């Protein structure tokens, strides 16, 4: 497995990853409907620009040419990073998410991000992953689509 910075040459693999994750659990992707190719192309193009401008971090996990995971951090005006991780079902529990997370942590520190935040639906197993990594639950919000858990990770106190 290799970890690579996002690039447009990986679009087909990213598209397949997002479609597969959405089909498994629509709430894991934050899309309100299954994203079209055009919508995802625009999102990937924006991510690439944000990475180049040091406003975001985005790494892909690649195994034998297949995109099996993605970790992104979008920097906000308060110097916090909003984290999202996607890992294909067959690769969960095999350190893919951990390796992506570690790579993004190093880059976050270089960009001066002081805190990482993640919003996850209450019944998503990613909450356990985030807790194992040192995230703390900061709040729970009730929405029309269900409960959302806000988790935070302080980069100033963690290595």
| Domains of the chain, CATH where assigned | 2-113 (3.40.630.30)
Best CA proximity match to 151, nearest among 128, 142, 143:
128
- The gap from C-alpha 105 to its chain's centroid, in whole angstroms, comes to 12
Cα distance between residue 17 and residue 75, in whole Å = 23
Give the sign of the dihedral formed by CA 119, CA 122, CA 124, CA 128. Answer: positive
Q: What is the pLDDT of residues 94-126, one digit of tens each?
A: 999 999 999 999 999 899 899 999 998 888 888
Residue in the block written with tokens 């100033």: 156
Q: Would the pTM count as exceeding 0.85?
A: yes
Q: At what angle do helices 11-24 and 37-52 cross, to 10 degrees?
A: 120
Joined tokens for residue 38: 């055009």
**pLDDT tens column, 40-59:** 999 999 999 999 999 999 99
């Amino acid at each position: 497995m290799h970890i690579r910075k996002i690039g447009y040459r990986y679009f087909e693999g990213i598209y397949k990853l997002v479609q597969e994750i959405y089909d498994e659990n629509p709430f894991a992707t934050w899309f309100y409907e299954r994203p079209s190719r055009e919508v995802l192309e625009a999102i990937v193009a924006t991510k690439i620009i944000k990475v180049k401008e040091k406003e975001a971090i985005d790494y892909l996990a690649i195994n034998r040419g297949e995109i099996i995971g993605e970790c992104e951090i979008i920097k906000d005006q308060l110097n916090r990073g909003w984290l999202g991780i996607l890992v294909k079902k067959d690769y969960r529990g095999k350190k893919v998410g951990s390796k992506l997370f570690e790579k993004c942590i190093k880059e976050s520190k270089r960009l001066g991000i002081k805190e990482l935040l993640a919003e996850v639906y209450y019944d998503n197993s990613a909450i356990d992953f985030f807790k194992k990594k040192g995230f703390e639950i900061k709040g729970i919000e009730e929405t029309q689509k269900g409960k959302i858990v806000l988790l935070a990770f302080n980069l100033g106190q963690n290595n």
